[in-house]
Amino acid sequence: MNRFERLFVEHEIVLGDGAMGTMLQRLGLTTGGAPELWNVEAPEKVKQVHRGYVDAGAMIITTNSFGGTRFRLALHKLEGRVAELNRAAAQIAREVAGDRVAVAGSMGPSGELLEPLGTLTFDEAKAAFAEQAAALAEGGVDFLLIETMSDLNEVRAAVEGAREGTGGSLPIAVTMTFDTRGHTMMGVSPEQALKAIYEMGIRYIGSNCGNGPEETIGAIEKMAAIKPDDVILIAQSNAGIPRWQKGGEIVYDGTPEVMAEYAVRVRDLGARYIGACCGSTPEHIRAMARALGISNT
């Protein structure tokens, strides 16, 4: 039993962290820039974000590697640096987490459409996820978090790639994004997602990102109604919906108080791994910790 798995033995509710990308933008990352490049060019700023979440009470922090596949990094001409950037992401998080906090290795979607809708083959996707997973494992993550997925075929490629890249040595969690009338962009319902991902042998399953707390609450409610007893539900909602302010600043409308209420509601529905996503800050996580009556001490 590793550090991540042990959390669920020792705690009824495990508090995750919040956003990375929008926090780095606050620290100067330009729109369209590669967050993963900051793992080697501005590691202290990445550490600053991690420390903020640990200080707020997070029991899990998530690596700055969401766009770390060769396909996403190719948008910035960084496809040859997959191992370097993902390994650095994991090492940075591990340094901040120490032995107190678990580290999730973030693996986001490839950004490509798999066949037959697109040109990316299953084997190509699997190989890319295996490459990323191997580097995250080398850097010291406690588990792999395949997140913000919309296509179950890509989920399968990521799961198989993660297992191949790590020799099956790390737990895997999967979340999908139900942001299109209660379904993913590819038409997957929360119930379909839970059943299919469970059949892949995954036991940490849930919903992340999306259009705010109500959407995530709805997805968790549907998953909770059908989940087997050995599934641990994950809820990581955006802090509301982004809105443009004068001057070009993007502000999310979910206050810490709104997110604290969301945390209690998904807990009451049965979620045990509760965190946040885009637009959230350590202030949001601190409010959620208070509302849930938990800490990482």
| Amino acid identity, position 18 | G
Q: What is the average pLDDT across 266-285?
A: 97
Distant-in-sequence, close-in-space partners of 99: CB < 8 Å, separation ≥ 6: 3
Residue 3, CA atoms < 13 Å, CB-side half-sphere: 18
Give domain status of residue 282, yes or no.
yes
Biggest distance spanned by C-alpha atoms of the chain = 50
Q: What is the average pLDDT across 205-220?
A: 96
Give domain status of residue 205, yes or no.
yes
**Where do runs of H (alpha helix) occur along 35-81?**
38-41, 43-56, 70-73
Phi, psi angles (nearest 5°) of residue 40: -115, -25
Give domain status of residue 287, yes or no.
yes
DSSP state of 114: B
Q: Cα(73)–Cα(133) distance, rounded to whole angstroms?
A: 15
pLDDT number for residue 241: 84
Give domain status of residue 266, yes or no.
yes
Give domain status of residue 77, yes or no.
yes
Name the residue range of residue 191's domain. Answer: 3-292
Angle at 121 between CA 116 and CA 127, to 5 degrees: 155
Q: How many domains does the chain have?
A: 1
pLDDT band at 295 (very low <50, low <70, confident <90, very high): low
Lowest average pLDDT, out of 3-17, 136-150, 155-169, 250-264, goes to: 250-264
Give domain status of residue 190, yes or no.
yes
Cβ distance 274 to 288 under 8 Å? yes
- Which pLDDT tens digit goes with each residue over 52-68? 999 999 999 999 999 99
270 CB neighbour count, 10 Å cutoff = 16
**pLDDT at residue 296 tops 70:** no
Residue 160 is part of a domain; what is its CATH number?
Answer: 3.20.20.330
Give domain status of residue 297, yes or no.
no
**pLDDT at residue 245 tops 90:** no
pLDDT number for residue 246: 64
